[in-house]
A and B are shown apart, each in its own frame.
Chain A
Amino acid sequence: MSDNNQRNFPLTGIRIVDLTNVIAGPVSTRVLAQLGAEVIKVEVPWGRAIGNIAMHTDVPGELRPYNKVASFNEVNRGKRSIAIDLAQEEGRILLREIISVSDVVIENYSPRVMGNLELSYESLLTERPDLIMVSMPALGGSGPWSSYISFGPGTDALGGLSDVTGYENGPPHKPGNYYADHNSAFHVSTGIVAALSQRRRTGKGQRMEIVLREVTMAVIGEQFLGYQLSGDAPVRMGSHHRDAAPHNVYPCRGDDEWVVIAVESDEEWRRLCDAIGNPNWSDYDRFATKPDRLDNQDELDSRITDWTRNQTNYEIMHKLQGHGVKAGAVLKSPDVLSDPHFKSRGFIDETDHEDAGTNHHPGLPFRLSRSERRMGVAAPMFAEHSDWALAELLCLEPSDIANLRDKNTTPLEPVDRTF
């Protein structure tokens, strides 16, 4: 469609049918939409399925509250929307027709759902012999736990990441927020573009399964080999490092304000001492070499805290970086929004949405010198592209479209459904 064809996006001309929900699947296709793919989000007819899980801005009594679900609007930027009732035979036929003119279909249902909807890969191949189909099961489509369900944080637990995250001597912990979901999203979007590149060469599509838990294990892969080689299971060590000190987060002036400092070599240590003003610690010798600093880490941390606690985190970051010491302020959401570095790189994506207003979102973490990125395009409103999909994409007659509307097969507003 219009903006796709006229501009220099890497994935112009690729059409993706997105049947995914919650975070992992929608983020993977959001990335592809921002690289220029035409992503058609097929929504359930009764509203926005993500609603119960994440942050909202919707207020009862407002106009079209379903268009104001902040989380939905964030992970679906740049996509098109059609609502289809897949419980109806006509709805399933319609979806098959859309798939027949698409390159990729992606779903993150639990394993049996696609079969129940008569949308198995084998049956879709009759419509589109070179189709690429992606599923994202939590634990894998085979094996004794294949029927188990899990959300991202549960796969962190089962995959070992929670166990290596945590304070020293404390219990297992949770990294980030929906970390496993995002980690799998980028693996999925990368895999899709790779499969498309293979298809250009061979003409063959394929059915890809990318498993959330396996992606979690992949980003701690060194831990599995490290355990086998050394015989020691990894231990939780907070923000300390087994081979660097000082390496921690330190309190700064203000409420809940922090800075990290990461010193590895003795040379970096001397630069830190310079930056602090070469303090006359009576027992300075106890920190002279890396093994000394690792042995006396707690005292070292408390000395550094004495220095950090009366300055702001930004002051410390700039001062230490001026001496070539690795340091970083622990930024909060408003800090990132106003930070000159983030601003100058244009990382943060700003969207204007007819119902939800102006909002900011994380952008793409890379910039390409020749390809454009499709930033600044808001999420679609509910069923916003239904007319386009039926009339222009599928070339249906107006009478057929009217019939689909009458039966609520493809509603333009959410229809009632009790959960």
Chain B
Amino acid sequence: MTDTALSGVYVLDLSDGMSGGYCSKVLRDLGADVIKIEAPRAGDSTRGMGPFLNGVPNIETSATFLYLNAGKQSLTLNLESDEGRKILRRLIGNSDVLVESFKPGMMDALGLGHSELEKLNLALVTASISYFGATGPYSDYEGSDLVAYAVSGYMYLTGDEDREPLKAGGSQSEYQAGMAGAMSIMAALTHRDFTGEGQHIDVSAIEALNATFDGVGYYSAYENRGVVPKRAGTRLVQREPHGAYPSTLLPCKDGWVHVHYSPSNPEGIAMLTGDERMESDDVLSEMRGHADEIDASLTEWLKDHTREEIQTLAQEIRVPFTMVQSIPEVLEDPQNTARGFFVDIEHPEAGALKYLTSPYRLPESPWHAVRAPLLGEHNRDIICGALGYSDGDFQRLKEANAI
């Protein structure tokens, strides 16, 4: 076996949905062994999210599940049954990490709170991921990705100034919560390496999105200068007249480009557009104060050029302009192709698809392409193999609806 960063780390992912799924995906990408524990029959809720093969709902062809769970094993367990909980407890003894995303208090109600589980395994690290967090006056509030954008303040910073706030594309609170989970689990595993003791981690998706304002002066702008940071269209939220500009999206001949000022070539925009005003002290000393003028000058030039021409011409003179690419375009672009960022993986029901590899393709910890599991695909391996139940026991557990 090739060594990986997390060789020998065993993760039980009891979570439901995207945040815990991404958390344990990151651990899997770094080499941990992950068992995804799913509810019998329906499975993880991401199996119901789609998009599905040919648009037909099918728990085995949901894009969201297939992406987040590639490389994990699937075990179905009914945690409302005594037998189901007993199997979980037996697995805890040989596991390092447990990830869960029930509403705060639910694990305790099931008798599976961390203080109970650590009696079985003192070294266990349990990460509980929720929207509002496990403590505080709103800890029993109902959360969702949309609610997290709102309460975190992220939404107030996204969208056009004169329109309603906007959510980000995709499900970013879920990903940031998952990432905060993975980060804190790594910290707890480090603590454990030195002390032998595990611990409980409380992760909040709302806090994870608010944490993406580090460096914005989100609080200090208000406290020191009375400025409430507010969405500014496709420009950065900062709007001091002397601040750098551009950083925005503008239309061109065949779509949109992201234009950004160049610290290493401040005259670059003038060189591209031929507009001498763009290299004048007047503009360069107060770039954000001239944002509308810079946009107008650039738009005039951009409209005659395609995204690809713009990116190539600008990058040749170290001006960081980039194309806005659609999802189908990103799948096929020359950089991703050259770097092998997408790989073909075959799945018995979803067929062959191009999957993302991982941001973690490390020299000492290679990433391996493995498909997502079918619902309960590893039930027999785990229950009869690892835990030593007999075939008869296995049948009985199935009939008792425990797995």
- A369 adjacent to B200 (CB under 8 Å): yes
Contact of B152 among A233, A331, A363 (CB under 8 A): A331
- A191 adjacent to B362 (CB under 8 Å): yes
Tell me which residues from 182 to 240 in chain B have a Cβ below 8 Å from any Cβ of chain A: 182-184, 186-191, 193, 197, 199-204, 207-225, 228-230, 233-238, 240
0/1 string, B125-162, CB within 8 A of A gives 1: 00100001101111101111111111111111111100
- A35 adjacent to B215 (CB under 8 Å): no
- A226 adjacent to B63 (CB under 8 Å): yes
Total interface residues on A, using CB and 8 Å? Answer: 153
Complex: how many Å from CA A223 to CA B358?
15
Tell me which residues from 303 to 362 in chain A have a Cβ below 8 Å from any Cβ of chain B: 317, 321, 324-337, 340-342, 344-345, 347-348, 357, 359-362
0/1 string, A357-385, CB within 8 A of B gives 1: 10111111111111100000000000000
Binding stretch for chain A, among B81-89, B320-328, B375-383, B393-401: B320-328
Q: Which residue of A lies closest to B263 (CB)?
A: A52
Interfacial chain A residues near B327, Cβ < 8 Å: 160, 163-164, 220, 223-224, 227, 233-234
Complex: how many Å from CA A325 to CA B66?
29
Complex: how many Å from CA A148 to CA B157?
28
Interfacial chain B residues near A26, Cβ < 8 Å: 215
* Least Cβ–Cβ distance between B344 and chain A, in angstroms: 11
Complex: how many Å from CA A194 to CA B221?
35
Q: Known A54-B217, A153-B247, A210-B360; judge A226-B50 contact (CB<8 A).
A: yes
Interface residue A147 (Cβ < 8 Å from any Cβ of B)? yes
Binding stretch for chain A, among B252-260, B271-279, B292-300: B252-260
Interface residue A46 (Cβ < 8 Å from any Cβ of B)? no
Complex: how many Å from CA A295 to CA B180?
37
Q: Which residue of B lies closest to A221 (CB)?
A: B67
Interface residue B7 (Cβ < 8 Å from any Cβ of A)? yes
* Least Cβ–Cβ distance between A128 and chain B, in angstroms: 16
- A204 adjacent to B364 (CB under 8 Å): yes
Q: Which residue of A lies closest to B342 (CB)?
A: A224
Q: Which residue of B lies closest to A75 (CB)?
A: B215
Interface residue B249 (Cβ < 8 Å from any Cβ of A)? yes
- B168 adjacent to A341 (CB under 8 Å): no
Contact of A366 among B168, B183, B322 (CB under 8 A): B183
Complex: how many Å from CA A337 to CA B221?
12
Q: Known A54-B217, A230-B50, A230-B51; judge A347-B358 contact (CB<8 A).
A: no
Interfacial chain B residues near A329, Cβ < 8 Å: 150-151
Q: Known A360-B219, A360-B220, A366-B202; judge A197-B190 contact (CB<8 A).
A: yes
Contact of A155 among B220, B222, B322 (CB under 8 A): B322
Interface residue A120 (Cβ < 8 Å from any Cβ of B)? no
Cross-chain pair count, CB within 8 angstroms: 532
Interface residue B107 (Cβ < 8 Å from any Cβ of A)? no
* Least Cβ–Cβ distance between A290 and chain B, in angstroms: 13
Pick the most buried of B145, B238, B327: most chain A CB atoms within 10 A of its CB.
Answer: B327
Contact of A53 among B218, B244, B264, B324 (CB under 8 A): B244
Interfacial chain B residues near A50, Cβ < 8 Å: 215
Complex: how many Å from CA A232 to CA B244?
38
Complex: how many Å from CA A185 to CA B221?
22
Q: Which residue of A lies closest to B190 (CB)?
A: A10
Interface residue B330 (Cβ < 8 Å from any Cβ of A)? yes
Interface residue B369 (Cβ < 8 Å from any Cβ of A)? no
Contact of A260 among B26, B147, B172 (CB under 8 A): B147
- A365 adjacent to B211 (CB under 8 Å): yes
Interface residue A273 (Cβ < 8 Å from any Cβ of B)? no
0/1 string, A287-311, CB within 8 A of B gives 1: 0000000000000000000000000
- B146 adjacent to A326 (CB under 8 Å): yes
Q: Which residue of A lies closest to B216 (CB)?
A: A177
Q: Which residue of B lies closest to A250 (CB)?
A: B164
* Least Cβ–Cβ distance between A154 and chain B, in angstroms: 4
Interface residue A82 (Cβ < 8 Å from any Cβ of B)? no
Interface residue B331 (Cβ < 8 Å from any Cβ of A)? yes
Interface residue B392 (Cβ < 8 Å from any Cβ of A)? no
- A229 adjacent to B51 (CB under 8 Å): yes
- A191 adjacent to B30 (CB under 8 Å): yes
Complex: how many Å from CA A23 to CA B217?
12
Complex: how many Å from CA A256 to CA B165?
9
- B217 adjacent to A55 (CB under 8 Å): yes
Tell me which residues from 190 to 247 in chain A have a Cβ below 8 Å from any Cβ of chain B: 190-191, 193-198, 200-202, 204, 206-208, 210-211, 213-215, 217-234, 236, 238-239, 241, 243, 247
Complex: how many Å from CA A111 to CA B191?
34
Interfacial chain A residues near B133, Cβ < 8 Å: 345, 367
Contact of A229 among B52, B68, B230, B233 (CB under 8 A): B52
Interfacial chain B residues near A31, Cβ < 8 Å: 183
Interfacial chain B residues near A371, Cβ < 8 Å: 187-188, 191, 199
Given contacts A182-B214, A249-B150, A369-B200, 15 further A-B contacts (CB under 8 A): A55-B240, A70-B224, A149-B315, A157-B323, A157-B325, A176-B157, A200-B193, A208-B363, A218-B356, A222-B49, A223-B170, A224-B67, A331-B156, A368-B187, A368-B201
The 8 closest A-B pairs by CB, nearest first: A164-B169, A175-B168, A226-B51, A55-B217, A365-B207, A165-B169, A157-B258, A226-B63
Q: List 28 A-B contacts (CB under 8 A).
A: A23-B214, A31-B183, A55-B216, A57-B225, A70-B217, A149-B320, A154-B258, A154-B320, A157-B257, A158-B330, A173-B158, A187-B179, A190-B179, A194-B5, A197-B5, A206-B364, A221-B68, A222-B49, A222-B170, A227-B51, A227-B327, A229-B63, A233-B328, A262-B145, A325-B142, A334-B228, A368-B188, A370-B197
